Amino acid sequence: ATSSITITGANSFTYTGSPQGPATSTHTGSTGAVSYAYKGTGSTSYSESSTPPTNAGSYQVVATLAADENYSEASSVPFNFTISKANATIAVVPYDVKFDNNEHIATGTATGVIGENLSNLLDLSLTRHTAVDAYTDAWSFAGNNNYNSDSGTITDRINLPTGIITT
């Protein structure tokens, strides 16, 4: 007799920092154990494992239904799925200061979905100024294997000190 197995569930996930992947299967025939083998596909580097993957990428899970005393052959089926990159929470704080002849730069933070500090991927270098003016400045977030890149603008100001008269 022939047994069969199918995998059901989502085939698209977003990075959460936890293992993800479809692991719901239904089968007919054999009462043997069901096992799952996950591996990366395409450019995703993920060696075969029984643990679902965590990182963003393309994957395949193969569910195998073992043979039993009535079904002499194992049955297996592949299922492809992806884990997409997540968006970091980014907060960029512009400055509004009085001129003091010092260089000023905006401050900011970037935080991942599990609370990890990603601020090292945040570039605020284009917000550096010394002269009196209002600036529309760009910032960027480089992203990485699990996070999308991002960018935006802020308005920074260096104001004349009180009591300075210009003509």
Instruction: Look at residue 163 and tell me whether its pLDDT is greater than 80.
Output: no
Expressed in percent and rounded to 5, the helix, strand and coil fractions of the chain are: 5, 45, 50
CB-neighbour burial class of residue 53 (10 A; exposed 0-12, middle 13-18, buried 19+): buried
Instruction: Look at residue 167 and tell me whether its pLDDT is greater than 90.
Output: no
> Per-residue pLDDT averaged across 86-107, rounded?
98
pLDDT band at 88 (very low <50, low <70, confident <90, very high): very high
User: How far is 89 from 141, CA to CA, in rounded Å?
Assistant: 10
**Residue 38 token pair:** 């996950």
pLDDT at 140: 98
For CA atoms 39, 88, 14, 21, the dihedral sign is positive
Q: Report the predicted TM-score, pTM, of the whole model to 2 decimal places.
A: 0.87
pLDDT tens-digit profile of 40-53?
Answer: 999 999 999 999 99
